[in-house]
Amino acid sequence: MSKFVLTLATLTAAVALLGAEVQACTRAVYHGPDGRNITGRNMDFKDAMVSNFWVFPRGMKRNGAAGSRSLEWTSKFGSLAVSGYDISTVDGMNEAGLNASLLWLNATEFPKDDGKTPRMSLSIWAQFYLDQFATVSEAVEYTRSHPVQVVSGEVPGRPGSLAPLHLTLSDASGDSAVLEWIGGKLSIHHDRKYQVVTNDPPYDSQLANQKYWSAVDPLNFLPGSGRSEDRYLRAGFYINAVTQSDDPRISAAAVFSVIRNASVPYGVSLPESPNLSTTRWRVVADQKGMLFYGESATSPNIFWVDLKKLDFSEGAPVRKLDLGVDMNRILTGEASGQFVTEKPFDFMAVE
């Protein structure tokens, strides 16, 4: 190992040990051949999490759950949503192949109420995009021209602690966007090249960090800590270094291998830091094959849902795949037949 790389490795390790907060959750978009675009993400959290799969049909009437000025809409697209505690949508893919994922961002500062702009609870922010848009470009264009204030709520199990989250979008073409509330204003990064997103610092700083590290050959050295910046660099290199294949099985395996590499080992957490923690589950969305994979950190098997087998027609029932705490229900193979009709959960309302 060269003196430069040895020194760099030592500094990286020291920073990792000194950092009081290491953020978790990683999302990466795979640009495979013949339009095989796939999005994978880790859900990392200190506390056990109830996350189930929900089938929401077209034609559902929605409310932003944020008081008298809540935005209202009717869903144009059906979606497979992943719930957080059955009070919010934290991930999912709609029938057009749009994926939405919420990740932790400590630097988040939501806007103060101006008394006139339509509002929306953070709990339904991701679901709004799954309901309304087929592509990232459509979503970004609408968002830029139709201001909405997103209102945060408490982190479940942590009274008084508001959830600071940013939103990532990707679509079947491989396009990508990152939406962040910084200093009370919405920042949008939109480009196909924005394949990887982690947590703090804000995304413009993540891009600057990537540029800094571009001088180091990743085949010789990649930072290995659980810090957000280090996971970003590893995932950013590996998502384009792994096998590039249009075979749905091989390409999904490649994406799983990348996000597992960016996972936090089970049981590793920092005290009082819900945003640095154990990987609870992983999901991978094949946006060409319309396959949505799930993997629990505590289950021996991968399962998946073929969205082409789901009924998203207007008037179809809402259906739920009960997965238990940390998705610990043991399933294997294609699971679309395991959903049962269920009353839709209520998105957490905020004022």
Higher-scoring residue by pLDDT: 207, 282: 282
Q: Contact at 8 Å (CB) between 287 and 37? A: yes
In a domain, 21, yes or no: no
What is the rounded average pLDDT of the residues 335-344? 98
Strand 149-151 relative to strand 72-74, pairing:
unpaired
Q: Is residue 287 part of a domain?
A: yes
Model pLDDT, residue 268: 74
Q: What is the pLDDT averaged over residues 280-298?
A: 97
Q: How far apart are CA 320 and CA 111, in angstroms?
A: 33
pLDDT tens readout for residues 107-133: 999 999 999 999 999 999 999 999 999
Please state the rounded mean pLDDT for residues 306-317: 98
pLDDT score, position 18: 27
- Among 8-12, 120-124, 163-167, the least confident range: 8-12
Give φ, ψ of 137 to 5 degrees: -60, -45
Residue 44 domain flag: yes
Nearest to 48 by CA among 307, 277, 219, 295: 277
**Whether pLDDT at 202 is above 50:** yes
CA distance 64 to 335: 31
**% of the chain residues with pLDDT over 90:** 75
Q: Is residue 19 part of a domain?
A: no
Question: pLDDT tens digits, residue range 203-242?
Answer: 999 888 888 888 888 888 888 777 888 899 999 999 999 9
pLDDT attached to residue 270? 61
Q: Indicate the pLDDT class of residue 265, thresholds 50, 70 and 90.
A: confident
Residue 57 maps to a domain: yes
Peptide bond into 33 cis (omega under 30): no
Please compute the mean of the pLDDT values over residues 284-294 and round it to a whole number. 98
Lowest mean pLDDT among 57-71, 157-171, 219-233, 261-275: 261-275
pLDDT, residue 160, reads 65
* Crossing angle of the two packed helices 136-145 and 125-132, in degrees rounded to 10: 120
Tell me the catalytic residues: 25
In a domain, 6, yes or no: no
Taking residues 36-49, what's their average pLDDT?
93
What pLDDT does residue 146 have? 98
Provide the whole-model pTM: 0.90
pLDDT band (50, 70, 90) for residue 275: very low
Pairing assessment for the beta strands 89-94 and 79-83 based on DSSP bridges: antiparallel
Residue 241 lies in a domain: yes
pLDDT value of position 158:
66
For range 90-98, the mean pLDDT: 98
Asked if residue 17 belongs to a domain, the reply is no
CATH number at residue 141: 3.60.60.10
The pLDDT value recorded for residue 220 is 84
Q: Range of 237's domain?
A: 26-341
Task: Output the pLDDT for position 214.
Answer: 85
Q: Calculate the average pLDDT of the chain.
A: 89
- Evaluate if residue 303 carries a pLDDT over 50: yes
> Per the structure, how many domains does the chain have?
1
Residues 296, 268: contact at Cβ < 8 Å? no
Residue among 253, 298, 334 at smallest CA distance from 40? 253
pLDDT at 263 over 60: yes
